[in-house]
Amino acid sequence: MRSRFRSDRRLTVRMTVTMFLLGLLYVAFVAALIVLLKSWILVAVLVAVMFVAQFWFSDKIAMFAMRGHVVEREQYPELHAVVDRLCAIADMPKPVIAVSELDMPNAFATGRNPDHAVVCVTTGLLRRLEPAELEGVLAHELSHVAHKDVAVITIASFLGVIAGLIVRFMFYSQLFGGGRRDQNTAAIFAAVIGVSAAVYAISFLLIRALSRYRELAADRAAAHLTGRPSALASALTKVSGEIARIPTKDLRTAQAFNAFYFTPATGKEPGIERIFSTHPPLEQRLAQLGRISAELGEAAAPEKTG
């Protein structure tokens, strides 16, 4: 089913290119592991188990980590009403609605496709936003589902997760059992760690680049669907300001899921490290929404004079 969210060819191209490059990296990674470990069965089982766990259970993992729970219409009627209205306008299936009992104002979408998606908001977000602002945030999250970039990010991050786990496993295995190995085994372990670290670094940069663009695409799609980019800009400003006041120690747990959030749980705008950020700078997002607001105003002017 094709939703009424404005399509974004540049996002589609970026997702395709990212998946293609990560696919090549994935093939090279698996081949290197088979050569180094000399057991294609071990590698195949490891990769298959991790892929199933991440792809099919990514929503449950994210919900568990962020203390989210599914809520029915009777519990949050206004939240359900906003999502119902947006899904009707966008002509898309309604996702499962969840609420996280966190004071950090934020929201995220997860799921492997539009028919198996979850949109979760925190109680901190619900307490702080006005209805129009909440609508803008929810439209932003729904656009991630409609554009299928949530699924792409989930699949794309799979390779990085595998590589990261192998690096940790090999490091601790070498640390605590290195004395019992000969030089050949130690060399293989070092090679596996090196290959895994390189794969993790490359996949990390590719995913971050895609993540920054998809946030801009979601802002654009939400602004055009609701027709109120100023409300989304207001929500962005308010949420970013509130997160900046939350102690860093309280944000550390949430930072692992920054790529899925409406606004990153960093508490500050990135400086030189923005190349590693999951989101574009707040100023860039607000500037884009300002341009869309001007465009919508110019488009509405002829109708008023006619």
What are the pLDDT digits (tens) for 104-149? 899 999 887 888 889 999 999 999 999 999 999 999 999 999 998 9
Average pLDDT, the chain: 82
Q: Environment class of residue 106 by beta-carbon count within 10 Å: exposed (0-12), middle (13-18) or buried (19+)? A: buried
Whether residue 116 is annotated as binding a ligand: the answer is no
At residue 302 the predicted structure's pLDDT band, cuts being 50, 70 and 90, is very low
Amino acid making up residue 196: S
Given the residues 74, 141, 283, 295, the one annotated as active site: 141
Whether residue 80 is annotated as binding a ligand: the answer is no
What are the pLDDT digits (tens) for 24-77? 887 787 787 777 767 778 777 877 777 776 667 767 777 777 788 999 999 999
Question: Would 157 be classed as within a structural domain?
Answer: yes
State yes or no: pLDDT of 83 exceeds 90: yes
Amino acid making up residue 34: I
Structural domains in the chain (count): 1
DSSP states of 16-80 as a string? Answer: HHHHHHHHHHHHHHHHHHHHHHS-HHHHHHHHHHHHHHHHHHHHHHHHHHTTEEE--TTT-HHHH
Q: Which of 146, 20, 169, 150 is nearest to 94 (CA)?
A: 146
Question: Which pLDDT score, from 0 to 100, does residue 62 have?
Answer: 74
Question: Would 302 be classed as within a structural domain?
Answer: no
Q: Pairing mode, if any, of strands 117-122 and 96-100? A: parallel
Q: Compute the CA torsion angle 125, 130, 134, 135 (nearest 10 deg).
A: 170
Question: Which pLDDT score, from 0 to 100, does residue 270 have?
Answer: 57
Percentage of the chain modeled with pLDDT above 70: 79
Question: Would 2 be classed as within a structural domain?
Answer: no
- More confident: 218 or 3: 218
- More confident: 227 or 193: 227
Q: Compute the CA torsion angle 55, 57, 63, 64 (nearest 10 deg).
A: -130
Question: Which pLDDT score, from 0 to 100, does residue 111 have?
Answer: 83
Question: Would 3 be classed as within a structural domain?
Answer: no
Question: Which pLDDT score, from 0 to 100, does residue 34 have?
Answer: 79
Residue length of the chain: 306
User: Which distant-in-sequence residues (6+ apart) come within 8 Å of 41 by Cβ?
Assistant: none
Our answer to whether residue 141 is catalytic in this structure is yes
Beta-carbon neighbour count of residue 98 at 10 Å? Answer: 23
Best mean pLDDT range from 68-72, 199-203, 261-265: 68-72
- Please compute the mean of the pLDDT values over residues 206-222 and round it to a whole number: 93
State yes or no: pLDDT of 297 exceeds 60: yes
Question: Which pLDDT score, from 0 to 100, does residue 305 have?
Answer: 40
Cα radius of gyration (the chain): 21
Prediction pTM value: 0.82
Tokens encoding 64:
């568990």
Angle at 221 between CA 281 and CA 214, to 5 degrees: 45
Question: Would 301 be classed as within a structural domain?
Answer: no
Question: Would 305 be classed as within a structural domain?
Answer: no
- More confident: 292 or 4: 292
State yes or no: pLDDT of 99 exceeds 80: yes
Whether residue 147 is annotated as binding a ligand: the answer is no
Question: Cα–Cα distances in Å, from 166 out to 23, 86, 255, 276?
Answer: 18, 42, 21, 22
What are the pLDDT digits (tens) for 269-285? 556 566 788 899 999 99
Answer whether 50's CB lies under 8 Å from 165's CB.
yes
Q: Where are the beta strands (DSSP E) in the chain?
A: 68-70, 96-100, 107-111, 117-122
Answer whether 36's CB lies under 8 Å from 192's CB.
yes
Question: What distance in Å separates the CA atoms of residue 134 and residue 295, rounded to the nearest whole number?
Answer: 22
Question: What distance in Å separates the CA atoms of residue 290 and residue 108, rounded to the nearest whole number?
Answer: 23
Question: Would 232 be classed as within a structural domain?
Answer: yes
At residue 175 the predicted structure's pLDDT band, cuts being 50, 70 and 90, is low
- Domain range for 221 is 9-296
Question: What distance in Å separates the CA atoms of residue 79 and residue 83, rounded to the nearest whole number?
Answer: 6
Question: What distance in Å separates the CA atoms of residue 118 and residue 181, rounded to the nearest whole number?
Answer: 47
Question: Would 284 be classed as within a structural domain?
Answer: yes
